[in-house]
Amino acid sequence: MEGRIEEHPILQFKRKKKIKFYFEDREVEAFEGETVAAALHAAGIRVLRHTPNLGRPTGLFCAIGKCSSCLMEIDGIPNVRSCMTKVKEGMRVRRQKGKGDVL
Protein backbone atom coordinates (compact mmCIF):
# COMPACT_ATOMS: atom_id res chain seq x y z
CA MET A 1 0.00 0.00 0.00
CA GLU A 2 1.02 3.59 -0.66
CA GLY A 3 3.42 5.23 1.78
CA ARG A 4 4.41 2.02 3.52
CA ILE A 5 8.03 0.96 3.85
CA GLU A 6 8.41 -2.63 2.69
CA GLU A 7 12.15 -3.19 2.97
CA HIS A 8 14.42 -1.73 5.64
CA PRO A 9 18.08 -2.44 6.45
CA ILE A 10 17.51 -2.53 10.23
CA LEU A 11 13.81 -3.01 10.94
CA GLN A 12 11.21 -5.57 10.06
CA PHE A 13 7.63 -4.42 10.04
CA LYS A 14 5.35 -7.22 11.14
CA ARG A 15 1.96 -5.99 10.06
CA LYS A 16 -1.17 -7.32 11.69
CA LYS A 17 -4.59 -7.95 10.17
CA LYS A 18 -5.74 -5.75 7.29
CA ILE A 19 -8.84 -3.73 8.12
CA LYS A 20 -11.00 -1.02 6.56
CA PHE A 21 -12.18 2.27 7.95
CA TYR A 22 -13.76 5.40 6.54
CA PHE A 23 -12.22 8.82 6.05
CA GLU A 24 -14.80 11.39 5.01
CA ASP A 25 -16.98 8.46 3.83
CA ARG A 26 -14.19 7.15 1.64
CA GLU A 27 -12.97 3.62 2.36
CA VAL A 28 -9.33 3.42 3.50
CA GLU A 29 -7.26 0.33 4.19
CA ALA A 30 -5.12 0.02 7.31
CA PHE A 31 -3.46 -2.55 9.50
CA GLU A 32 -4.56 -3.32 13.02
CA GLY A 33 -2.31 -1.65 15.59
CA GLU A 34 -1.79 1.50 13.52
CA THR A 35 -2.98 4.85 14.80
CA VAL A 36 -5.59 6.75 12.79
CA ALA A 37 -3.00 9.42 11.89
CA ALA A 38 -0.47 6.80 10.75
CA ALA A 39 -3.04 4.96 8.63
CA LEU A 40 -4.12 8.22 6.99
CA HIS A 41 -0.50 9.09 6.22
CA ALA A 42 -0.06 5.67 4.63
CA ALA A 43 -2.99 6.60 2.37
CA GLY A 44 -1.35 9.91 1.50
CA ILE A 45 -3.70 12.03 3.64
CA ARG A 46 -1.89 14.71 5.63
CA VAL A 47 -4.60 17.33 6.21
CA LEU A 48 -6.32 16.19 9.40
CA ARG A 49 -8.26 19.24 10.48
CA HIS A 50 -9.13 22.87 9.71
CA THR A 51 -8.56 25.37 12.48
CA PRO A 52 -11.55 27.03 14.23
CA ASN A 53 -10.83 30.69 13.50
CA LEU A 54 -8.74 30.99 10.37
CA GLY A 55 -9.80 27.71 8.80
CA ARG A 56 -6.19 26.79 8.06
CA PRO A 57 -5.36 23.17 7.24
CA THR A 58 -3.39 21.43 9.99
CA GLY A 59 -1.85 18.00 10.33
CA LEU A 60 0.30 15.85 12.52
CA PHE A 61 3.11 17.55 14.43
CA CYS A 62 4.38 15.58 17.44
CA ALA A 63 2.77 12.15 16.88
CA ILE A 64 3.07 11.34 20.59
CA GLY A 65 -0.13 12.86 21.93
CA LYS A 66 1.22 16.18 23.19
CA CYS A 67 0.60 18.96 20.69
CA SER A 68 -3.13 18.62 19.82
CA SER A 69 -2.43 19.49 16.19
CA CYS A 70 -4.01 16.25 14.92
CA LEU A 71 -7.43 16.43 16.63
CA MET A 72 -10.11 14.76 14.49
CA GLU A 73 -13.72 13.69 14.68
CA ILE A 74 -13.69 9.95 15.27
CA ASP A 75 -16.94 7.98 15.40
CA GLY A 76 -18.80 11.23 15.94
CA ILE A 77 -16.63 12.43 18.84
CA PRO A 78 -14.65 15.62 18.15
CA ASN A 79 -11.22 16.57 19.57
CA VAL A 80 -9.84 13.04 19.55
CA ARG A 81 -6.05 12.77 19.24
CA SER A 82 -5.69 10.83 15.98
CA CYS A 83 -2.03 10.12 16.73
CA MET A 84 -2.87 8.19 19.91
CA THR A 85 -6.08 6.46 18.78
CA LYS A 86 -5.75 3.03 17.22
CA VAL A 87 -7.70 2.54 14.02
CA LYS A 88 -10.55 0.01 14.18
CA GLU A 89 -12.58 -1.87 11.58
CA GLY A 90 -15.40 0.30 10.29
CA MET A 91 -14.27 3.40 12.20
CA ARG A 92 -15.65 6.69 10.85
CA VAL A 93 -13.01 9.41 10.75
CA ARG A 94 -13.60 12.99 9.67
CA ARG A 95 -11.52 16.12 9.44
CA GLN A 96 -12.52 18.30 12.31
CA LYS A 97 -13.86 21.69 11.39
CA GLY A 98 -13.83 24.24 14.14
CA LYS A 99 -13.92 23.34 17.79
CA GLY A 100 -16.48 20.54 17.69
CA ASP A 101 -19.83 20.40 19.46
CA VAL A 102 -20.34 19.41 23.10
CA LEU A 103 -22.71 16.43 22.63
Residues that bind another protein (CB under 8 A): 3-5, 7-11, 13, 15, 33-35, 38, 41-42, 46-48, 51, 56-67, 69, 83-84, 86
**CB 37 to another protein: min, Å:** 8
Residue type, 33: G
Q: How far is the CB of 78 from another protein (least distance, A)?
A: 15
Is residue 51 within 8 A of residue 59, CB to CB? The reply is: no
Residue 87 sits at φ, ψ, to 5 deg, of -75, 145
CB of residue 58 vs another protein: minimum separation in angstroms?
6
In the complex with another protein, the residue whose CB is nearer, 42 or 93, is 42
**In the bound complex, what is the minimum distance in angstroms from residue 83's beta carbon to another protein?**
8
Query: Between residues 7 and 25, which has the closer beta carbon with respect to another protein?
Result: 7
DSSP 26-58: EEEEEETT-BHHHHHHHTT----EE-TTT--EE
Of residues 86 and 99, the one with the C-beta less far from another protein: 86
Q: How far is CA 32 from the centre of its chain?
A: 13
Considering only CA atoms, which of 63, 64, 85 is closest in space to residue 73? 85
